[in-house]
Amino acid sequence: MKNDTKSLRINAFFKILSLPVVFGIIFFLPAGTFDYWQGWTYMAVIGIPAIFVISYFIKHDPELMRRRLQFKEKEDVQSRLVKFGSIFYLFIYLVPGFDKRYIWSSVPDWLVIVSDVMVFFGYMVCFVVFRQNSYASRIVEVEEGQKVISTGLYSIVRHPMYVGVTIMFLFTPLALASYWAFFPATVIPVILIIRILNEEKVLRKDLIGYIDYCNKTKYRLIPYIW
């Protein structure tokens, strides 16, 4: 068990270490400059909390961390969605750098800061979800012994993690001072809706009590709307 935890810590450490490197490449290389305070701020807004969140779950819920470090989807529909969606996720992060270089947008500083706050808020929503549901895996699956979570944020909507993800990615373009990057960002909610519909088919079929939970908690993503 100690070896497993050590391996998990090493894996998580390299994930954290790679974050500024990856962000640095996709932000500053297209921008052609390091003089891009919006990119640095975004890296801090995502990177600093990630260190604390990952450290917290390695200590308090290592099984969640193991699930979050899995990337290969078992469902064909989900696998295709991940591949399709990765194009738009990439553009959300690449376009702002080019926008900075060629001055396509002029996003006011106050809007950038507000958007950073919203990105952080979305990240914290995800953190709360992870605390409430240890089975919040990155991939769609039902594990042995898994139970339905119906309290906390799950009493409001059935997929609160996707609420956090949606907030993060809709405000990311503005946090990076790009109006143009908002166009690929608008595709993300559509991808998540398709993911949710397929995920619920799996959960209804394989997770005991999920149908009753759906009857009790009516809304999937937005209260009183959907």
| Predicted local distance difference test score (pLDDT) of residue 74 | 67
Q: Cα–Cα distance between 5 and 38 in angstroms, integer?
A: 36
Q: Cα–Cα distance between 65 and 135 in angstroms, integer?
A: 10
> Which whole number is the average pLDDT over 211-225?
90
| Sign (positive or negative) of CA dihedral 211, 213, 218, 220 | negative
Average pLDDT, the chain: 87
pLDDT tens across 201-214, in order? Answer: 888 988 888 899 99
Q: Cα–Cα distance between 201 and 65 in angstroms, integer?
A: 25
Share of residues in the chain with pLDDT > 70 (%): 93
pLDDT tens across 87-144, in order? Answer: 999 999 999 999 999 999 999 999 999 999 999 999 999 999 989 988 777 666 777 7
- The residue whose two tokens read 């991939």 is 139
Residue 17 banded pLDDT, cuts 50, 70, 90: confident
CB-neighbour burial class of residue 109 (10 A; exposed 0-12, middle 13-18, buried 19+): exposed
Q: Domains along the chain?
A: 2-216 (1.20.120.1630)
Q: Cα–Cα distance between 65 and 67 in angstroms, integer?
A: 5
Tokens of 149: 């979570």
